[in-house]
Amino acid sequence: MKFSWLVTKEQEGKRLEQVLRREYGFSRRLVTRLKYYGEALINGKPAIAITPLRTGDEVHVYVPEVIEPQPPQDIPLRILYEDNHLIIINKAPGMVCHPTKGYPQGTLANALSHYWQQRGEAHPARLVTRLDKDTSGLVLAAKSAWSHYRLSAGNLCKQYYGITRGIPHPTAGEIEQPIGMLPGNPSRLGVNPSGKAALTRYETENILGNLALVRLSPVTGRTHQLRIHMAWLGCPLVDDYLYGREEGLLGRTALHAYALRFRHPATGEPLEFIAPLPEDMKGVINTGEVTE
């Protein structure tokens, strides 16, 4: 991760770390990493974080990555957008985002490592958003610790589409129910008054017999939030084996990350990305198939 600039009049007299934090989005952790592992040069000479800047100074800052890329695997990716700071992928259902004990390989992180290796790059897969294995749709990844920090600290607006078993009542509204481990089953999440606050907004877009296509907007980001909240409402997502029931209608949890809006970490430009509904969910909607 490299930054270079000429000091402006507005930066005159400020410490290097102040400019890095206020104008380049450095976290305290990144400033500490610069101190111990990186390099700062002012007019070609080594400098420390508290060095005051003068107008016209030529500054070069380098902070090495400390996360190693996952082993590369040649797995096809559907890339919607990429620049020097971030990448947007339309993830297929059935793919795990990051290696786990149960899925040590074949993940999105492995696929990204191969993709970047083929381009002569080496970035760790810093996933800003993550999806469950069954969930399809948009995933945002950063190419550096700095970009990851800026994106994570920003206001990410996410929208999903789900197909529910049962019609939400009312057909639009908010679900504000805390989520935590269930008292009688500490290995299972659910609505728990002692859990963390969670808020989901929903709107029913289409009714198909006793199924409904709903648009879901998570305001908070709790694990399995959308699945848990829709089940609490009495309308679990179709084929949700954890919070509903497997019925073979779709073969996976009927959830798709449809839209993602945020500001670019470097330019501040508002960005919006859309991933249309995948064919399997379209098939259910188009046929209106209903099973009991």
User: Beta strands 172-176 and 136-142: pairing type?
Assistant: unpaired
Q: What does the pLDDT read at residue 102?
A: 85
Q: What does the pLDDT read at residue 291?
A: 40
| β-bridge partners, 119 | none
Q: What is the 3-state secondary structure (H, E, C) of 185-224?
A: EEEEEEECCCCECCEEEEEEEEEECCEEEEEEEECCCCCC
SS3 229: helix
pLDDT digits (tens, 9 = 90+) for 198-211: 999 999 999 988 99
pLDDT, greater one: 226 or 100: 226
CA distance 26 to 190: 36
Transcribe 137-194 into DSSP letters: EEEEEESSHHHHHHHHHS--EEEEEEEEES--SSSEEEEE--EEEETTEEEEEEE-TT
pLDDT digits (tens, 9 = 90+) for 242-264: 999 998 899 999 999 999 999 99
SS3 25: coil
Q: What does the pLDDT read at residue 290?
A: 42
Tell me what percent of the residues of the chain surpass a pLDDT of 70. 97
Rounded to two decimals, the pTM is 0.79
Q: How many CA atoms lie within 13 A of 160 on its CB side?
A: 30
Burial class (CB in 10 A: 0-12, 13-18, 19+), 266: middle
Q: What does the pLDDT read at residue 67?
A: 67
Mark whether 74 is an active-site residue.
no
CA distance 163 to 185: 27
DSSP letter (8 states) at residue 15: B
Name the active-site residue from 57, 74, 83, 132. Answer: 132
H or E segment at 33? helix 28-37
Whether residue 158 has pLDDT greater than 50: yes
20 phi and psi, to 5 degrees? -60, -40
pLDDT digits (tens, 9 = 90+) for 261-285: 999 998 999 999 999 999 999 988 8
Q: Is residue 292 very low, low, confident or very high in pLDDT (cuts 50, 70, 90)?
A: very low
CA distance 188 to 84: 39
> Which domains, and CATH codes, for the chain?
2-62 (3.10.290.10), 67-153 (3.30.2350.10), 155-292 (3.30.2350.10)
| β-bridge partners, 204 | 214
CA distance 14 to 7: 10
CA distance 211 to 180: 27
- Structure tokens that stand for 136 in this block: 């399809």
pLDDT digits (tens, 9 = 90+) for 7-65: 999 999 999 999 888 887 788 878 887 887 788 999 989 889 899 999 999 998 888 76
